[in-house]
Chain A
Amino acid sequence: MYEFVDQIFVKIGQGIMLLFQGQSPFVQAFIWTILKILPIIAIFPGIFAFTTWAERKLLGRIQNRLGPNRCGPVGLFQPIADGIKTLTKEDIVPTTADKPVHTLSPVIAVVASFLVITVLPMGRNMTGADLNIGVLFFFAVGSIGEVSIFMAGWSSHNKYSLLGGMRAIAQMVSYEIPFVLSAITVVMVVGSLSTNDIVQAQQLHHIVEDPEGFSDTMKRVFLHLFNNVGGWFVFQPWGFFGFLIFFISSLAELNRAPFDLPEAESEIIAGHHTEYSGFKFALFALAEYISMIAVCGLGVTLFLGGWNGPHILPSWAWFFLKIFTLMIIMIWIRGTFPRLRADQLMGFAWKFLLPLSLVNILAAGLWYHIPSRSFGWLATALIMATAYHYLSKFVMGKSLEKRIYRFA
């Protein structure tokens, strides 16, 4: 039963393929590719719509408001209303704008954000494109997003847009380094760039024997949990710090609060998409949220065990559950933290995250080469804790002194 529910989408795909059995190999390959692309294009915009609703609702709660509550039950149909609104809105292009670049920019943003999703394993045997360089592909295509933001900022011919574009590129280039370096630890330990291999490496079935042999129910449950959860890299010291670095720098890569300087509404009126209206603006929003889902998906794949989980839920359900958890944490952070100053932003990336991720790579290497797992765990945890302590002291500098507010 579990096997069936777990593999239901794969079975459906194979069932559809049976209809094309007599066709030429070219047609079959074409249909199989379409079958892999269609769900990605159909499901993720739906998740995007739900996320915008959840974000507004949650931010409303955090700020002691109700959030959208007019359309449908608890405002659930708000995304549909938003979609109709953006579709019918007039598309305004400034007369001085560079029209081809202005139009192309949101398209490139959307294409890049959808492309990266294909390499994520969304469940057992459910990877869109199982490339042997999956992680590298993700980072490569992800970096095209920077270009689209530059194009939007530059072509709008608006000083706020240009400022936003400049801020975005400076920020994304800086945070890309800890972003990639934190992922490198996983690649080092697994010894493969393929996302499928990384997820498989986080199962412990090959270390601990199968729990079927035990009669004691408690023991079986425990071993089952251990097999499916214990192997997640986030439970290793280097994985924990790697995940933290990855998550923080992914917030900066996505231009989300508290790193939303490129689109700071109160300073540069939404930065690169100031001059966008109607459906082009909706495309930017779509690209932003799809990349948010994709980056959370990569974080889940690298550090949180991918689709691994206890067999009470099918593998794909675990994957999406973990993604939603990460996204809700992102929304929570947006509602809680104030925006960073530009110098704090750069200082944090170069003085704190970068050295910490370099130490983390060292720790991952040590952990890999120390034969005793428990000793390796303790030693690397000690190294990382020391590095974290001294680096944070170094970054904080003199600001640790107590502030005296005279007029407050």
Chain B
Amino acid sequence: MEYVFYILAIWTVGSGLLAVLQRNLVHCALALIAFFAGIAGIFFTLRAEFLGAVQIIVYVGAIAVLILFAIMLTRHVTGEETISPFSGHAIWGWLASAGVLAMLIYSLYDQLFIMSGPPSQATVLDIGNAMMRRYAVPFEVISLLLTAALVGAVVIALEEPREKK
């Protein structure tokens, strides 16, 4: 099982690096898909099959396809050259990722170096109960937020009604 983890880890880190370092935007997006698939594979090795499948559905099936679709709808369909991560413009990107990393370390600091036996197996039932009972309100708030974002996007995208002459 450990070998599988190392293969997946190399795959995930490699494709993550490719997603950042490649210059062609579409290649970056495809590398990002490989990265998401690698993460899903790690979930599978941890016996969190539900999370793994959801990872593929949400990130590969929805978010990555959305990114690809967005690229397709722009004029630079052939894959615009991206800014190199080592150029001066990329400083904001570095700052943002450093912020995310700091937040993750801060919130996970207690469990960072603890490996206590095999991970407990969360069944679909547990996840469903947690989402629909204990965390029902946050869940609903998130869906409301997403709906509002969707409506906002539609309103922005709507063509202005033509004035009658």
A interface list, Cβ under 8 A from B: 98, 101, 131-133, 136-137, 139-141, 143-144, 146-147, 150-151, 154, 157, 162, 165-166, 169-170, 173, 176, 193
CB distance from A157 to the nearest CB of B (A): 7
Chain A residues with CB under 8 A of B28? none
Closest 8 CB pairs of A and B: A143-B61, A140-B56, A140-B53, A136-B53, A140-B57, A133-B49, A137-B53, A150-B68
Chain B residues with CB under 8 A of A165? 72
A139-B57, A169-B68 given; A162·B49 CB < 8 A: no
Chain B residues with CB under 8 A of A137? 49, 53
- A-side interface mostly: helix
CB distance from B20 to the nearest CB of A (A): 18
Closest to A176 in B: B61
A140-B57, A140-B61, A147-B64 given; A162·B124 CB < 8 A: no
Chain B residues with CB under 8 A of A133? 49-50, 53, 124
Q: A133-B53, A169-B69 are in contact. List 15 more A-B contacts (CB 8 A).
A: A132-B49, A136-B50, A136-B54, A137-B49, A139-B61, A140-B52, A140-B56, A140-B57, A143-B57, A143-B62, A146-B61, A151-B30, A154-B26, A154-B77, A176-B61
B interface list, Cβ under 8 A from A: 26-27, 30, 33, 37, 40, 49-50, 52-54, 56-57, 60-62, 64-65, 68-69, 72, 77-78, 123-124
CB distance from A377 to the nearest CB of B (A): 27
* A132 pairs with B72, CB closer than 8 A: no
Closest to B125 in A: A191
CB distance from B15 to the nearest CB of A (A): 13
* A162 pairs with B77, CB closer than 8 A: yes
Chain B residues with CB under 8 A of A141? 56
* B123 pairs with A136, CB closer than 8 A: no
* A136 pairs with B57, CB closer than 8 A: yes
Q: How far is the CA of A101 from the CA of B26 in the complex (A)?
A: 10
A133-B124, A157-B78 given; A150·B53 CB < 8 A: no
CB distance from B79 to the nearest CB of A (A): 8
A140-B56, A165-B72 given; A132·B65 CB < 8 A: no
Chain A residues with CB under 8 A of B30? 101, 147, 151
Closest to A96 in B: B78
15 contacts between A and B (CB under 8 A): A101-B26, A132-B49, A132-B124, A140-B56, A143-B60, A143-B61, A147-B65, A151-B30, A154-B26, A154-B68, A154-B77, A157-B78, A169-B69, A169-B72, A176-B61
Q: How far is the CA of A169 from the CA of B66 in the complex (A)?
A: 9
A136-B53, A140-B53, A143-B60 given; A173·B72 CB < 8 A: no
* B60 pairs with A144, CB closer than 8 A: yes
Closest to A157 in B: B78
* B65 pairs with A169, CB closer than 8 A: yes
CB distance from B146 to the nearest CB of A (A): 15
Q: How far is the CA of A136 from the CA of B50 in the complex (A)?
A: 8
A143-B57, A150-B68 given; A131·B49 CB < 8 A: yes
